Amino acid sequence: MGRIVGIDLGTTNSVIGVLEAGRPQVIANAEGSRTTPSVVGYTKDSELLVGQLARRQLVLSPRNTFSNLKRFVGRVWDELEENSLSVPYTVRANTQGNVRVTCPVTEREYAPEELVSCIIRKLVDDAETYLGEKVDGAIITVPAYFNDSQRQSTRDAARLAGINVERILNEPTAAALAYGFDRSSTRRVLVFDLGGGTFDVSLMRISNGVFDVKATSGDTQLGGNDFDQRIVDWLAEQFKKEHGLDLRRDRQALQRMNEAAEKAKQELSGVATTPISLPFIATGNDGPLHIETTLERSIFENLCPDLLDRLLVPVKSALRDSGWQPDQIDDVVLVGGGTRMPMVKQLVRTLVPNPPCQSVNPDEVVAIGAAVQAGILSGELRDLLLNDVTPLSLGLETVGGLMKVLIPRNTPIPVRQSDVFSTSEANQASVEINVWQGERQLAQDNKSLGKFRLSGIPPAPRGIPQVQVAFDIDANGLLEVSATDRTTGRKQSVNIKGGSNLNEDEIQKLLNEAKLKAEEDRRKRVSIDKRNNALTLVAQAERRLRDAALELGPYGAERQQRAVEVSIRDVQDLLAENDLHELELSVASLQEALFGLNRRLSSERKIDSNPLQGIKNTFGSIKDELFSDDYWDDDPWDDPNRPNMDRRNMGRRDLDPWNDDFYR
Ligand code: ADP
Ligand code: MG
């Protein structure tokens, strides 16, 4: 069996971790960073870019570069808020009302899950390279507040990436795992996670390796982006006042302002004032226009009081649900880049008297926790037990459109609950089971997770048939619903897939497509890798030749130097001809030639390790050549280009004044 990794699939940044020798660790990506921007893009040649490379083309190609995709995962078009839609690329609803992302260069539409799967794939690919073995499964974290369809869709995305999801884990729970996995005392912990696009709060009790989540709450539409937006608006309003132009209407200008705003926000976490400079942001009547200004932290803070107020709501609600008082909380774990803002830290201090814990890195703690969970599942870590809760109430629609709750929010999972329902009309032959998730009294105001019909109920007066409806929530927080007619024993059950953006057929189609493409991609990659390797080797060989000429003189290692030169030419010719098979052979002989030259160089250096090396080299190399076996097979003196002097004498061992034996 391959490894199981932990993935923090963030709205803004993603991180992958693994348990190594019993300790959780973050794995750096191919670019060397420990966090990977959750951005996917296509170049103008339709080449897929993921992470930092994609992020880099955000400004240049805003329509073909997709960020903040997590906002769309598992959500249907009608649920999306206005501000979710303010992305620089095009999103639209397909005929089923599902969200689709349009990409002009590939002339295709993508389900958000499909693009997210590219992020998962990259994380896993880089992890496999690092680990040197295959990754089979992953723990993927989601905001605690994610509803059932968002969880299902996250799992779909992993499936599309060819990864088995071993567990869906709530992000704050993961953070607590990371924080408390080697602590033994009993503590009450508040996890406060402000990411790029979501805000999550959890209260839990950690005691001797048992993690009990008491309450969880959050806001799926509140994050660091909203703070950036305030700066963007501030910049745009100022600019409008001055020049009468609204920069927010220009995609590229908007994207540049977004980047500048985020950078300013981050800098203001460390300094009190920061410059913002956006030259050539627009063209006015008299030529180019620029933004050149400074932002003070106090001004920034004055732009966002309502955002801070919104942070309070879920904290209060979680405290209420847990029945704990703020001063009973022992530790606050800050998670997510957004908690680096001083105003957010201050807000937390006004909520809970104890200072927040600084020992965990807010960017990595979730992935670390996911890696710990991977260790628990694989049996590598024992004595840890995780008791999570369901974030939202689950229920059925009953007469009058009321929501009848079967499983209240914050119920420990896994859990099974059932209740008996009946018909509302005489001789009703079937009942419709309509499943909802949310806290509102009217079912309509909550999120529909799907419906199904139990039919074949024998004729009877209203209220007589007994239909038992059971809800099962597994450890991933995923729901299965079943309904049984007690008289006939007839049973119907469904995995709720109501809000998932992709149906099973679509997933299968994408998987098949991916399989076909994977082979093509692999071939392409192999060929690119081979060419790159050859180029690198040629550059290296040329450098060694120069070294050899400097250290040994132009003819110091004639035979080896020539062999390298000839092989370089071969490789270059084959590169031009694009013959991969022959190229591989010529690369091998270049490697061999280079090895010979290197060995020659290093043996020279060993002999010449004294301060008079420079002078000695001249003699040394000749000396070596004279006494080497090759010398007499390949007479260097036949070469017409050789300098005209008798070097045989100079090279004679007994005449060499620098030879150690000389003075003996
Ligand atoms: P997610 O979990 O959504 O992927 P992260 O936890 O990576 O998000 O946090 C990303 C957010 O944190 C972004 O909005 C980013 O601008 C913000 N951020 C990162 N560093 C800082 C900082 N030093 N000060 C303020 N905000 C920051
Ligand atoms: Mg996060």
Tokens at 310, concatenated: 């919104």
Ligand 1 contact via 336 beta carbon (within 6 Å): yes
How far is residue 121's CA from residue 266's CA, in Å, rounded to a whole number? 29
Ligand 1 contact via 559 beta carbon (within 6 Å): no
Please state the domain extents for the chain: 3-223+307-388, 224-306, 394-502, 505-608, 613-662
How far is residue 78's CA from residue 76's CA, in Å, rounded to a whole number? 6
Task: Name the residue with tokens 């406060």.
Answer: 192
DSSP letters spanning 258-311: HHHHHHHHHHTTTSSEEEEEEEEEEEETTEEEEEEEEEEHHHHHHH-HHHHHHH
Ligand 1 contact via 225 beta carbon (within 6 Å): yes
> Is the N-terminal amide bond of 414 cis, ω within 30° of 0?
yes
Residue 357 CA to its chain's centroid (Å): 25
The confidence score (pLDDT) of residue 496 equals: 62
The confidence score (pLDDT) of residue 347 equals: 94
Query: Which of 7, 9, 13 should be mutated for ligand 1, with most atoms under 8 A from CB?
Result: 13
Pairing assessment for the beta strands 187-194 and 331-335 based on DSSP bridges: parallel
- Number of Cβ within 10 Å of residue 495's Cβ equals 13
How far is residue 271's CA from residue 56's CA, in Å, rounded to a whole number? 25
Closest ligand 1 atom to 70 CA: 3
Coil, helix or strand at residue 169:
strand
Ligand 1 contact via 269 beta carbon (within 6 Å): yes
The confidence score (pLDDT) of residue 145 equals: 81
Tokens at 47, concatenated: 């080449």
List Cβ neighbours of 377 (8 Å cut-off, separation of 6 or more).
Answer: 4, 139, 166, 167
Tokens at 493, concatenated: 């059950």
Which class is domain 394-502?
Answer: mainly beta
List Cβ neighbours of 485 (8 Å cut-off, separation of 6 or more).
Answer: 454, 456, 457, 465, 466, 467, 491
Closest ligand 1 atom to 265 CA: 25
Residue nearest to atom 7 of ligand 1 (CA): 13
Ligand 1 contact via 363 beta carbon (within 6 Å): yes
Q: What is 505-608's CATH topology?
A: Substrate Binding Domain Of Dnak; Chain:A; Domain 2 (1.20.1270)
**Closest ligand to Cα 191:** 2
Ligand 1 contact via 338 beta carbon (within 6 Å): yes
- Find, among 148, 62, 48, 70, the residue nearest to 116 by Cα: 70
Q: Find residue 98's DSSP bridge partners.
A: 76
Closest ligand 1 atom to 269 CA: 24
Tokens at 126, concatenated: 């880089």
Cα dihedral sign, 501-507-513-516: positive
Query: Which of 12, 116, 194, 361 should be mutated for ligand 1, with most atoms under 8 A from CB?
Result: 12
Ligand 1 contact via 12 beta carbon (within 6 Å): yes
Strand order in the sheet with 210-219: 331-335, 187-194, 199-207, 210-219, 385-387
Closest ligand 1 atom to 38 CA: 4
Q: Give catalytic residue positions.
A: 8, 70, 171, 193
Do 224-306 and 3-223+307-388 have the same topology in CATH?
Answer: no
Query: Which of 58, 262, 266, 274 should be mutated for ligand 1, with most atoms under 8 A from CB?
Result: 266
Domain boundaries 3-223+307-388, corresponding CATH code:
3.30.420.40
The confidence score (pLDDT) of residue 65 equals: 95
How far is residue 313's CA from residue 310's CA, in Å, rounded to a whole number? 6
* CA 39 / ligand 2 centre spacing (Å): 14
How far is residue 444's CA from residue 437's CA, in Å, rounded to a whole number? 10
* CA 195 / ligand 2 centre spacing (Å): 5
The confidence score (pLDDT) of residue 566 equals: 93
* CA 38 / ligand 2 centre spacing (Å): 11
Residue 368 CA to its chain's centroid (Å): 13
Helices 504-552 and 558-577 pack at an angle, to 10 degrees, of: 150
The structure's pTM equals 0.73
CB 201 within 8 A of CB 343: no
* CA 454 / ligand 1 centre spacing (Å): 47
How far is residue 175's CA from residue 538's CA, in Å, rounded to a whole number? 48
**Closest ligand to Cα 141:** 2
Q: Does the domain formed by 224-306 have CATH 3.90.640.10?
A: yes
Type of residue numbered 603: S
* CA 187 / ligand 1 centre spacing (Å): 27
How far is residue 296's CA from residue 269's CA, in Å, rounded to a whole number? 11
Coil, helix or strand at residue 30:
coil
pLDDT along the chain (664 residues), means of 10: 90 94 92 95 92 92 93 88 82 90 94 95 95 93 88 92 92 87 80 90 86 87 92 96 92 90 96 95 91 96 96 94 92 93 94 83 93 88 76 85 88 88 86 86 83 85 88 85 86 62 78 77 79 89 88 81 92 86 91 89 70 42 40 40 40 38 36
CB 117 within 8 A of CB 165: no
CB 198 within 8 A of CB 220: yes
